[in-house]
């Protein structure tokens, strides 16, 4: 089993959450403030070397589910799966996060690090 941190279209209530149908929900978490989150239209993209903490959910997934997630995210070309330290409780958690690898020239920053909140404000 592998832990995965999701922060966009894979969140509960979002269009791609169905891919996590067999996954075990661990809980809510935030990354350390080491990323920048950007609005890419229908989904967000996180990039390393920023100062934003990203809000998301942790799931424990099996091998076939991880393969489906890798295909969805275009790993390793569009997004790259990387290990990240999360703030979920008093103890640090570690999980994979998909980090965006393409150009962000036309993407808007999401300073809050929270995709859902950002989408609500944009309505």
Inter-CA distances, 25 with 22, 68, 95, 104, Å = 9, 17, 13, 30
Distance CA 7, CA 97 (A): 8
Among candidate residues 60, 73, 91, 93, the one labeled active-site is 73
Active site residue 73: yes
In the numeric block, the tokens 């403030």 are attached to 33
Question: Which residues are the active-site residues?
Answer: 73
């Amino acid at each position: 089993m592998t832990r995965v941190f999701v922060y966009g279209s894979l969140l509960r209530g979002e269009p791609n959450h169905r891919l996590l149908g067999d996954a075990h929900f661990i809980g809510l978490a935030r990354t350390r403030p080491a990323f920048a989150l950007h609005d890419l239209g229908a989904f967000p993209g996180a990039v390393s070397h920023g100062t934003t903490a990203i809000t998301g959910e942790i799931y424990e997934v099996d091998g076939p589910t991880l393969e489906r997630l890798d295909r969805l995210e275009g790993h390793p070309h569009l997004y790259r799966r990387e290990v990240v330290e999360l703030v979920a409780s008093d103890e640090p958690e570690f999980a994979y996060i998909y980090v965006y690898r393409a150009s962000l020239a036309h993407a808007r920053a999401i300073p809050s690090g929270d995709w859902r909140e950002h989408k609500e404000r944009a309505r």
